[in-house]
Chain A
Amino acid sequence: MIQLIHVSKWYDRRPALSDVMLEIEKGEFVLLMGPSGSGKSTILRMLIGEEQPDEGQLFVQGKNVTKLKRSEIPYLRRKVGSVFQDFRLLPKKSVFDNVALPLIVQGVSEKDIRRKVTEALRAVGVEHKRDQSPSSLSTGEQQRVCIARAIVNGPVVLLADEPTGNLDPELTGEIIELFKLINARGTTVVVATHNHHVMQQVNRRVITLMEGVVLPERAVPERVGV
């Protein structure tokens, strides 16, 4: 599903990623662990065409992201759902309208929008908040809305960058369970985090990054992130 082949990236001559080789299978739930600045977010940004590697190739569902034309990138992003630490919800729109946005940009019919948004909101447990403004919701609920928006158009991959960064341990557990549920439905889930508790809760494959280098999976230190 996802392949990174000898991917390197520099920012101002400082390496952000060095010769990264990575493969994530379809339907996997993977944690990208590592401290801040280790290159986790860079990988996620590359997977949605937000950044390009300086060297190497990057494939999502068989498509070489590094070779995509600018005009093709929006279509890649429609297959890859993104969840952000700061939620990035539009405060002037209702919960329903926020979740409907990816469907509107794709020109989905009114009837299907209503059905899909309702399903997504139900899946994350905030269906009863559909007419409220995001600012009236708790942080946990806002993150659920953000997840609903990411899954509403049935993406093949769900990317989450520090999705629990703003949440307390209890809410973190709830969000992780939500990701597990989404993964159980067949969506490949990649969560970038530096939170060691998340790793313990997920108990799935962990890819550890340290200063832009992927550590051998057997050599993962006990506590990397915190």
Chain B
Amino acid sequence: MRRLFYLVREAWANMRTNRMTTIVAILTTAFTLTCVGVFLLLYMNLQHAAGWLQEDVKVMVYLEDRLSRDGRLQMELMLKSDHMVASVLYISKEQALTEFRTQFPTDSQLLEGLGENPLPASFVVTLAPNFRSPEAMKEWVEQVQTMEGVAKVDYNQQWISLLSELIGYIELAAISVGILLSAAAVTIIGNTIRLALFARREEIEILRLIGATGTFIRIPYFLEGAVLGACGSALSLGILKVGFEVFRQQVQFISRFSGMEGLISFFPFSACLALVLAGMVLGFTGSVVSLLRVGEARA
């Protein structure tokens, strides 16, 4: 018990002795982890948005005007019995016109000039969740396009694919920045530990001479590294949370984006814990790098 108490007290004493270095190490670690956190937050929210859009993707099957009522009913039946289809909604030419007038009241006069309703009847098809991937969707659309009575098939997959591509780039950037800045955090904490080792070199020498094992000597520094990493990580989460809330409020005030604030979210509690743990691991790694040779070189 006294041994454990001693080790924890030594770690605390190290941090107190090098107070300024400890604070600088925590702040710089927090800053680097905040940069990584921004990418992670962006990545997480875009991933959510992509998932949400993918769920909502609809395929518009426009019908030729010459298609008879029976032909339309037969097609509806075929679509409904397709295992790849979750739901089918028929929109008649009249319903399409009414919807157009509701959505674009100022432009509706343009259609009146034409005399006849130019809008085609259509089926709004939602595919089953298992078939919403860009590849499956494309395959299905190509199949439907060849059907008798189908004028055109439209879906908004293209820009969802673009979003997926963008998410891929952000993921890559997050990983690259994460690796680079994590290495920076390890170096910063490693240097702090090295300073602590230098400040306490005489004490370490005495411990070695009275029979302390390398592990016993190293443990307080491992603890110090882990604590620095965890503090830096926790602080970065605090900074990110404040920044996130400010951003969300800004979104709320800008009328164009009003309502979007509900769609963006901060890291869940489990992810926050994982980030603090990641900070601890980085700090611990920094200590390990600094301490690899202590207690062994002259054991």
Contacts and interface: CB of A to CB of B under 8 A. Distances in A.
Interface residues of B, number: 21
Contacts of A109: 2
Interface string B208-239: 11111110100000000000000000000000
Nearest to B2: A110
B299 to A, nearest CB: 4
B203 A102 contact: no
A88 B206 contact: yes
Interface of A: 48-50, 70-71, 73-78, 82, 88, 90, 92, 100-102, 104-107, 109-110, 113, 149
Contacts of A90: 203, 206
Nearest to B205: A88
Given A88-B202, A105-B216, A113-B2, A82 B296 contact: no
Contact of B298 (A50, A71, A88): A50
A215 to B, nearest CB: 29
Nearest to B296: A70
A74 B213 CA distance: 6
Given A71-B299, A104-B6, A110-B2, A88 B209 contact: yes
Contacts of B216: 105
A73 B295 CA distance: 11
Those 5 A-B pairs whose CB atoms lie nearest each other, nearest first: A78-B211, A77-B211, A70-B299, A105-B212, A102-B210
Contacts of B202: 88
B167 to A, nearest CB: 50
A82 B298 CA distance: 17
A213 to B, nearest CB: 27
Nearest to B213: A74
A49 B211 contact: no
A74 B212 contact: yes
A71 B295 CA distance: 9
Given A49-B299, A90-B203, A101-B207, A71 B3 contact: no
Given A49-B299, A50-B298, A104 B211 contact: no
Residue among A75, A104, A113 with max Cβ neighbours from chain B (10 Å): A104
A87 to B, nearest CB: 10
B1 A105 contact: no
Nearest to B298: A50
A78 B202 CA distance: 19
Contact of B209 (A75, A82, A107, A110): A82
Contacts of A76: 211
A104 B296 contact: no
Contact of A106 (B13, B208, B211): B211
Contacts of A77: 208-211
